[in-house]
Structure 1
Amino acid sequence: MTKIDDLPKESGPSGGWGSLKGITRIYGESWPSLDVIRTLERQNKPGGYMCASCAFPKPANYHPFEFCENGAKATLWEMTKARCTPAFWDDHTVSELRDWTDHDLEKTGRLTAPLRYDADADRYVEVGWDEAFAEIGSILKTLPRKDVVFYSSGHAGLEASYLWALLARAYGNNNLPQSSNMCHETTSVGLKKVIGSPVGTIIWEDLQETDCYFFFGQNPGTNSPRFLHPLQEAKERGAKIVTFNPVKEQGLVSFVNPQNLQDMLTGNETKISDQYHQLRAGSDIAALTGLCKAVIEADDKAQAQGRAPVIDWDFLREHSANYEEFLAFCRGTSWEAICEECGLSEADLRDAADVYMKAERVIGVYGMGLTQHVHGATNIGMLVNFLALRGNIGRKGAGCCPVRGHSNVQGQRTVGIAEKTKLIPMDKLRELFGFEPPQEDGYHIVEATQAMMQGRIAATFSLGGNLVRALPDTARVEESWPNQKLTVMISTKLNRSHLYPGETAFILPCLSRSEIDEQETGNQYVSIEDSFSMIHGSLGKHPAVSDQVKSELEITCRIAEAACEPNPRLQWRAWVKDYSKVRDLIEATYPDDFRDYNERMNQPGGFWRGNPAHHRVWKTESGKLEFTTPDRLNALGFEDKPGRFRMITMRSNDQFNTTIYGYSDRFRGIEGTRDVLLMNKMDMAELGLEHGDPIVVHGDMDDGVARRRDGLTVVTFELPRGTVGGYYPECNVLIPVELHDELSKTPGSKGVPVRIEKAS
């Protein structure tokens, strides 16, 4: 039931009974078999099932229940008893389903048989697997190689991902965009530039040693709730936590541990953040400049008074480059300019810097609040600058910690799903498989989307995901997507991308990670890489939803066999029989990262593939950590002007990516709807708006494209002035595909220019 008439309620702590209630509600809606209990007992444990939700690490010393609210929801949602059989289409057309919500589409249940779109009937109809693969292969052979895109979401295991990349290159291109393009590609590019590693520098043991966390644009309560356990442990040993985020996220305010009976019975809350600073959207560069300026000023004063320095000068001189230019920038930037941009006071920033200077070991944690900006790479560089000033990278209990969203989004990059040829050991592929890999860079997802809008993409293959819904500029994507000659979706459930079929379109149903993957050599393990670069094996034990569904790996190999030229070294059929053979290939291609892969895959906590930056070995052009000197104080791709707001897109605690489990965002007090825009009450008053008013939100990019989101209700919310918030993916229609990070091309979903008017 929608409750817009009421102001958002004060939310309780993250975790606690609210978390259990949320899980119970999804259980009641999906009604999975009782076998789900056994799956949850094995979830994120050695030799068990690795959660298909976030990529948070799976520790060797695990809890009795090593899953969070969203992890449980993901498992329950995927193990539903509901089935979307071919008979579903007897009563529904594709056009009709475009009016359904994302939630209701997925609620139809698991797909049970391969489907082909019948344009005359505007329905999908069942098709045999052999027939589907033959037709897909026949069409692919007629298309220009550069016009076919092989997209992958972050779900598929390392084995299927390696073969997916091999399929694209054997077919003839490097068009391998991946979900990282839309979220953490800024990390891959930005961190690589400044520390020589595309991933975070910390390992699990660092969480147990740190005495301070600085959070920027990350929401563990919704996106990585298992992070709350090490945060609670840190608080118990006296560690400090400082948060910078435009939105006050409950997971960084307080937490009741659902696995602690005493806490549950007494309601005992752990206060998480010692300081919480709500800065304006996109102003992290300014805030970090202020933090660094305070540290530099304190060091100047200490040295003038003959006291020990505050800055770790030994680290800077031995391990870093270009720090003098950055120090001069901070000294030369006024406090007035810093505070005007970020909306925080000088006292606020000095208080936060004081916590930093008193700490011995600091971890900098960030999420898409830093990455999804036009100058997101500068955000990343600034955080590294901040950590480096006191040597907080490459030592115990300190480092850089990006929190990845999808379960294997990082690992897929590791094993070759990348559009940039310089990231791929092409010589190894040539040696192993005896063909000449294409040498031209492929499409990033933004480039692929722009090419599609221009009519230059002939076919898109999606290994998981809901790409039409996840992309920015939704209306333009929906208009151009059906113009392709071929679309192929490898999916577990129905989603909006299926409703915009190409000239020929297939839905190929696949196993979930929790299900038995029975091949000729038995039930097959798959593996994933978590945010800390640990590799884990995963074994499904739940019966498959249908004898008509196939594994992601088998579907990949069958497409490759149908579409690629015969090559005796490309043993697609043999690899389906035994996934350990694929792991041998991954080890042969990446020997430093995957030594003794099959032997180590199931060790408790996984095995670490290593990270030079963790050991202060910098694989940069200079051979040192590179300081970044910004040329601006915000990360936006537009200027402020009267009537223009900075919109951030957000997820509720009742969703995972584009999967909407329900309509309860209890942490923000929003119930029964997602059609809202959160707004500061003073901004509302200036526009003559009241809580509950119907509004229209317009894109304000000045690029000649009309973008609008109708049917929204404005809701009073505690946000900085000039910042508004709307839900992803519903507000993607307002995000220009051209609004993206300059280096990584990651869409700027956390800094979107909009204007607001009351609906007539």
Structure 2
Amino acid sequence: MLIYPKAHFHPYTHASGGWGSAQSVMKILWREQAFAKGPRALMKQNKPDGFACVSCAWAKPGKPHALEFCENGAKATAWELTSLKTSPAFFAEHTLSELRQWSDYDLEQHGRLTHPLRYDPATDRYQETTWEQAYREIGAQLQTMQPDSVVFYASGRASLETSFMYQLFARAYGTNNLPDSSNMCHESTSVGLQESIGVPVGSVTLEDFEHTDCLFFFGQNVGSNAPRMLHQLQDARKRDVPIITFNPLRERGLERFVNPQSPIEMLTPESTVISTQYHQVAIGGDSAALLGLAKVLLEMDDQAQREGRAAVLDHTFIAQHTQGFEAFAALVRACQWQTVECQSGLSRSALEAAAQVYARSERVMMIYGMGLTQHRHGVQNVQMLVNLLLMRGNFGKPGAGICPVRGHSNVQGQRTVGITEDPKKVPVELIEQHFGFKVPEQMGLCTVDACEGILAGRVRGFIGLGGNFLRAIPDTSRMEPAWQTLQLNVQIATKLNRTHLLPAAHQWLLPCLGRIEIDRQNGVAQTWATEDSTGCIHGWRGSAEPVGPQVRAEASIVAGLALATLPAGSKIDWQGWSADYSQVRTAIGAIYPQIFHDMETRMAEPGGFHRPIAVARREWLTHSGKAQFVLPSTLNEDDDVNPEVLPRDVLQLMTLRSNDQFNTTIYGYEDRFRGISGTREVIFMHRNDIARLGFENGQGVMLTTAIEPEVKRQVGPLEIVAYDIPEGCAAAYYPECNPLVPLWHHAERSKVPAAKSVPIRLSLAG
């Protein structure tokens, strides 16, 4: 196991991309012993004749660059194609009790899982089993359980075909318990956009970047979480398009960029300035900042009308296409600037500077990430973005609209084909007509509900289609003991992670093919599809040989479990579907004809095909038939504690990801863009807060949640790092800080964990 030195901090002064990214890619290819397969695979990554990146869901162009991958995408490829293996012999040497002492990095770094495994409580070890025996025993367990006591979780990495099969399996079994990773990140988007504009997804395509004349960023770190977007941002800046960023931390990817694919840029000191304005909004201050921008627009429009000049607002669009503007405008006018400045942490003049650019731009896009959605009022944040766009008619024209940046590679797509706990969001009649079973009517469990069910003992079984559920969820110290009371735990995975190490009474670990590997069924290489952040569906195929003969495709595993569990005589041809994915696509097209008609042909076209987005045609599938201005209920996005009585020693903590990770997967211990190396055990604080709270830079501290004191939630020791962050705010890494997030501390209506603003206190480590 690798041992790393004490943390050290050196501010990163270079641009994002450039030689730093190139060196990082070479380093991980070497460490994963993937120099033989890695470079060949990278040439196929995100190409029409290749495979979709297993990392983020950013759009894949129809005419790709020569190298259509980013630093983190290359890390994900090397991580999956590693030559390192975790075989049954490894588990013969290590008990689960021992492995629980390992770090997340060391567990996954050991390599790919190679054989199906069953947990043996007598020896506290995984032992090799056969696929047939695993299916038979899991099916027998499921048949003894109440369907609504079992959760079918999906991480967002599975293909459209596998996801469609998985949700049918769950519903045929008798439950809508289909939580997924979207519940933990962009469910606030799905709820907010559906209510405001009638669709649960963004309205822009990759082509819109070519037509926009202004971009706004909120709560999204493109340099680490979707670096390929930097190509579109660089192109926009070369056209002198302003990019205005609102983010608590100054992230390097939103400041400067060097394109690693440009020899000229790599060989000169030049770089592209990305953000033309950068506003360090206070944690939880986004709604206030957005209201402030709207307030400036109203003031500018009033003045224009008084002076007989052209209106600033698009009054024709507002009258024809929206509802609720008058009430929204009245609320904005009534809000005092002192309140806006206090809540947002920004000055009136800063918001006026941003609003001036917005007012003179005709085609504006709003891009955002989990910095907006993971708050108690995350749904409101999303709807405030929509309000701002509606004020100037920035929907339904090229270069304008809203762009949520999704995380996992097919998290949006799996929702499109039925991975949802809400049966009202699936075509029940078509499913029942085609497949001959009754879809359960009761609402299923989302992620937070599933966790509450485990704590209460109502959830007895868990099937995980990918992911590291126990590390991704909040309230870790309460959830881990409860997890071990489960009757059944089945994990479909490529590598070992912490969720696999806390055993249920009956537990299996089933190794699946990676997305980059060739998926042969009956000797025929299969193709599969995903949907990206812009609603574009692409077809793909693997390019590397599988890690071993015992590893099976996710679709095959789902089919095997379904056949062993469900009664005989099903109208679903599980065996036929798992042998020929085109049959699954035919079924998807029958259930979702508006989106997936002629799927087999259309997904093979360069650039794929887009799902229809009514908003792009200025059609509003809302209850009123118009886009809705939705009024904010508060400007305090995280109101568990009244800020007027908040003790001075309480900071607002946001969790964040490093440059060396993707979701819960840790690639290494170097957060290059923030200047951290050697550890992840740090907390970023403003120098003034360090001094006034009586600490020193470099000291070790314990972090304790400052709400619900009867439940002790603590993390540490973490090393203090003085950093450029607003006063009263702090930041530390996810998932290490998840124990600080109470399970009930989630977004209203969407139930997304509010991990971007957690009240904490600090104390010196003992």
Q: Distance in 1 between matches of 2:5 and 2:697?
A: 12
SS at match of 1:273: coil
Contact 2:118 2:128 in 1 (8 A): yes
SS at match of 1:66: coil
Contact 1:521 1:577 in 2 (8 A): no
The match for 1:196 is 198
Deviation of the 1:606 alpha carbon:
1.0
Deviation of the 1:595 alpha carbon:
1.2
Q: Distance in 1 between matches of 2:77 and 2:180?
A: 23
SS at match of 2:762: strand
Q: Distance in 1 between matches of 2:390 and 2:10?
A: 40
Contact 1:153 1:465 in 2 (8 A): yes
Q: Flag the 1:703–1:197 CA change in 2: closer, same or farther, 3 A.
A: farther
Q: In the alignment, does 2:453 pair up with 1:444?
A: no
Equivalent of 1:655 in 648, 653, 661: 661
Q: In the alignment, does 2:707 pair up with 1:701?
A: yes
Deviation of the 1:488 alpha carbon:
0.3
Q: Distance in 1 between matches of 2:601 and 2:681?
A: 50
Q: Distance in 1 between matches of 2:627 and 2:281?
A: 28
Residue deviations 1:616-637 (CA, integer Å, cap 9, x gap) = 1111111111111112112113
Q: In the alignment, does 2:237 pair up with 1:231?
A: no
Where in structure 2 are there 5+ consecutive unaligned residues? none
The match for 2:330 is 328
Contact 1:33 1:79 in 2 (8 A): no
Q: Distance in 2 between matches of 1:634 and 1:201?
A: 28
Residue deviations 1:458-512 (CA, integer Å, cap 9, x gap) = 1000000000110000111111111100100000000010011110100000000
Q: In the alignment, does 2:113 pair up with 1:111?
A: yes
Contact 1:284 1:634 in 2 (8 A): no
Deviation of the 1:435 alpha carbon:
1.1
Q: Distance in 2 between matches of 1:430 and 1:658?
A: 37
Deviation of the 1:35 alpha carbon:
2.5
Contact 2:7 2:676 in 1 (8 A): no
| Residue pairs, 1:633-652, within 5 angstroms | 633-639=635-641, 640=643, 641-642=646-647, 643-652=649-658
Q: Distance in 1 between matches of 2:616 and 2:467?
A: 32
The match for 1:96 is 98
The match for 2:431 is 429
Q: Distance in 2 between matches of 1:263 and 1:293?
A: 41
SS at match of 1:225: coil
Count of aligned residue pairs for this structure pair: 760
Q: Distance in 1 between matches of 2:656 and 2:533?
A: 21
The match for 1:750 is 756
How high is the TM-score relative to the length of structure 1?
Answer: 0.99
Q: Flag the 1:9–1:693 CA change in 2: closer, same or farther, 3 A.
A: same
The match for 2:318 is 316
Q: Distance in 2 between matches of 1:567 and 1:374?
A: 47
Q: Distance in 2 between matches of 1:77 and 1:568?
A: 38
SS at match of 2:633: coil
Q: Distance in 2 between matches of 1:743 and 1:618?
A: 21
| Residue pairs, 1:123-522, within 5 angstroms | 123-520=125-522, 522=524
Q: Distance in 2 between matches of 1:377 and 1:11?
A: 35
The match for 1:717 is 723
Q: Flag the 1:556–1:104 CA change in 2: closer, same or farther, 3 A.
A: same
Q: Distance in 2 between matches of 1:724 and 1:99?
A: 28
Q: Which moved more, 1:565-574 or 1:204-213?
A: 565-574
Q: How large is the Cα RMSD of the aligned pairs?
A: 1.1
Structure 1: which amino acid aligns with 2:307?
Q
Q: Distance in 2 between matches of 1:195 and 1:4?
A: 50
Deviation of the 1:3 alpha carbon:
7.1
SS at match of 2:267: helix
Contact 2:56 2:226 in 1 (8 A): yes
SS at match of 1:348: helix
The match for 1:730 is 736
Equivalent of 2:40 in 24, 38, 41: 38
Structure 2: which amino acid aligns with 1:214?
F
Structure 2: which amino acid aligns with 1:374?
R
Contact 2:7 2:679 in 1 (8 A): no
Q: In the alignment, does 2:745 pair up with 1:739?
A: yes
Q: In the alignment, does 2:759 pair up with 1:759?
A: no
Q: Which moved more, 1:73-82 or 1:7-16?
A: 7-16
Residue deviations 1:580-600 (CA, integer Å, cap 9, x gap) = 000000000000000100011
Residue deviations 1:677-721 (CA, integer Å, cap 9, x gap) = 111110011111111101000011226311000221111111001
SS at match of 1:243: strand
Contact 1:231 1:272 in 2 (8 A): yes
Structure 2: which amino acid aligns with 1:672?
G
Deviation of the 1:7 alpha carbon:
4.5
Structure 2: which amino acid aligns with 1:395?
K
Q: Distance in 1 between matches of 2:14 and 2:107?
A: 31
Q: Distance in 2 between matches of 1:613 and 1:300?
A: 28
Q: Distance in 2 between matches of 1:543 and 1:445?
A: 34
The match for 1:18 is 20
Q: Distance in 1 between matches of 2:574 and 2:7?
A: 58
SS at match of 1:576: helix
Deviation of the 1:568 alpha carbon:
3.8
Equivalent of 1:577 in 576, 579, 582: 579
The match for 2:691 is 685
Deviation of the 1:25 alpha carbon:
1.2
Contact 1:33 1:80 in 2 (8 A): no
Q: Flag the 1:703–1:447 CA change in 2: closer, same or farther, 3 A.
A: farther
- Between the aligned residues of both structures, percent identity stands at 49
Contact 2:7 2:677 in 1 (8 A): no
Residue deviations 1:541-590 (CA, integer Å, cap 9, x gap) = 21111100100000000000111112341111111110000000000000
Deviation of the 1:5 alpha carbon:
7.1
Structure 1: which amino acid aligns with 2:477?
A
Residue deviations 1:186-225 (CA, integer Å, cap 9, x gap) = 1111111100000000011101100110000001100000
SS at match of 2:683: strand
Residue deviations 1:268-305 (CA, integer Å, cap 9, x gap) = 11000000000110110000011000000000000011
Residue deviations 1:83-116 (CA, integer Å, cap 9, x gap) = 0000001221101111111110001100000000
Q: Distance in 1 between matches of 2:682 and 2:530?
A: 36
Q: Distance in 2 between matches of 1:69 and 1:614?
A: 32
Q: Distance in 2 between matches of 1:140 and 1:248?
A: 49
Q: Flag the 1:334–1:750 CA change in 2: closer, same or farther, 3 A.
A: same
The match for 1:592 is 594
Q: Flag the 1:530–1:51 CA change in 2: closer, same or farther, 3 A.
A: same
How high is the TM-score relative to the length of structure 2?
Answer: 0.98
Structure 2: which amino acid aligns with 1:163?
M
The match for 1:616 is 618
Contact 1:200 1:401 in 2 (8 A): yes
Q: Flag the 1:711–1:590 CA change in 2: closer, same or farther, 3 A.
A: same
Structure 2: which amino acid aligns with 1:435?
F
Q: Distance in 2 between matches of 1:299 and 1:100?
A: 60
